[in-house]
């Protein structure tokens, strides 16, 4: 079913891939981004370039924390679903700038919900994060777990958004799915994330920082699997009423830091020069998704192995940087 879909954060890593896929499937897409300076605007402009001129795409540059500007941007649009991906990401930067995360994540989400309420838009798929699980020892992480002990401002901002979402569902009947993403990677990945950063450093002959002893693990999820999960959430929202759900979109196969580095070495053909450093504040020991609920509700079924995804990323990186 073709829909008119708003994608916030459309110039980002996941948002640009999702927008491309939605357009390819015949949907109308209204893309919103504010080109937050967290990383270079040129990177986001490049992400946008592949679909910005598509006849079914309209781009709006607006800051979601500005309610009046957001309301005006969507004033004359008839919208079926909002996919709210925009926000400040990153655990470590959030410790330095908690106010920025409150504004870009919590206030922005509040504004998106107010626009939905005021315009009669009933459906939203929201990008939450595996960070909300904190340093829980119970693995794999499942959606019924207590997530009231976040260990970074980024994590508490995402948990706060889930709570606001529930309030608006209860008060105004909005249908919402919170999608907890688990370390999404692949072509266009943000430059601050480990696979991107390590690939750059290894290919330029620089040492890479390894925080801790290398035993920490992450549930890396290839972007195409995440995008398929988001599409599943859109379909579920379009075919169900009175929805409030939280689902994990992970890969269910944690990868140790040392194994991640080895995979990049294999994909690049270059041996890493590792500098071991202490663990950093806010980092968790493991992320590990139980994805049974997503399989059941969204027909979610990850297809990509970690090694395949890393090779695809390295190939893309070399192409973009002409290495």
Residues tagged active-site: 154
Question: Which residues make Cβ contacts (< 8 Å) with residue 305, sequence separation at least 6?
Answer: none
DSSP H helical segments within the chain, as ranges?
A: 13-24, 41-49, 67-73, 91-96, 98-101, 108-119, 153-172, 194-203, 223-239, 257-268, 292-298, 306-321
Cβ-defined contacts of 62-67 (< 8 Å, 24+): 62/32, 62/34, 63/34, 63/108, 64/8, 64/32, 64/34, 64/104, 64/108, 64/109, 64/111, 64/112, 65/103, 65/104, 65/107, 65/108, 65/111, 66/111, 67/111, 67/114, 67/115
Comparing CA positions, the residue from 168, 60, 31, 154 lying closest to residue 104 is 154
Q: Which of 204, 234, 250, 218 is nearest to 297 (CA)?
A: 234
Measured distance CA(114)–CA(119) in Å, rounded = 8
Q: What are the tokens at 29? A: 């897409």
Residue 288, Cβ neighbours under 10 Å: how many?
22
105: CB partners within 8 A, 6+ apart: 87, 88, 154, 157, 158, 160, 161
Residues 6+ apart with CB under 8 A from 176: 123, 124, 125, 126, 165, 166, 168, 169, 243, 244, 245
């Amino acid at each position: 079913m073709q829909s008119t879909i708003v994608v916030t954060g459309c110039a980002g890593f996941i948002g640009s891939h999702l927008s491309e896929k939605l357009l390819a499937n015949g949907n109308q897409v209204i893309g919103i981004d504010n080109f937050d300076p967290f990383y270079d605007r040129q990177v986001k402009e490049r992400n946008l370039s592949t679909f910005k001129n598509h006849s079914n795409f309209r781009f709006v540059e607006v800051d979601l924390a500005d309610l009046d500007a957001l309301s005006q941007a969507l004033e004359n649009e008839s919208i079926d679903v909002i996919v709210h991906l925009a926000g400040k990401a990153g655990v470590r930067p959030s410790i330095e700038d908690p106010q920025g995360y409150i504004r870009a994540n919590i206030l922005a989400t509040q504004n998106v919900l107010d626009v939905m309420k005021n315009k009669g838009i009933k459906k939203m798929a929201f990008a939450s994060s595996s960070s909300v699980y904190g340093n829980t020892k119970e693995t794999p992480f499942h959606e019924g777990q207590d997530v009231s002990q976040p260990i970074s401002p980024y994590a508490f901002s995402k948990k706060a958004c889930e709570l606001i979402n529930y309030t608006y569902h209860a008060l105004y009947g909005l249908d919402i799915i919170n999608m907890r993403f688990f370390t999404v990677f692949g072509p266009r990945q943000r430059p601050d994330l480990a696979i991107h950063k390590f690939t750059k450093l290894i290919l330029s002959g620089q040492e890479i920082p390894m925080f801790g002893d290398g035993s920490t693990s992450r549930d890396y999820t290839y972007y195409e699997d995440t995008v398929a999960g988001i599409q599943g959430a859109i379909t579920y929202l379009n075919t169900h009423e009175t929805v409030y759900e939280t689902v994990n979109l992970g890969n269910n196969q944690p990868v140790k830091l040392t194994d991640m580095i080895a995979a990049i070495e294999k994909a690049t053909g270059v041996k890493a020069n590792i500098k071991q450093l202490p663990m950093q504040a806010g980092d968790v020991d493991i992320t590990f998704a139980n994805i049974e609920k997503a399989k059941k509700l969204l027909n979610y079924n990850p297809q990509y192995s970690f090694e395949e995804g890393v090779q695809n990323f390295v190939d893309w990186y070399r192409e973009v940087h002409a290495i």
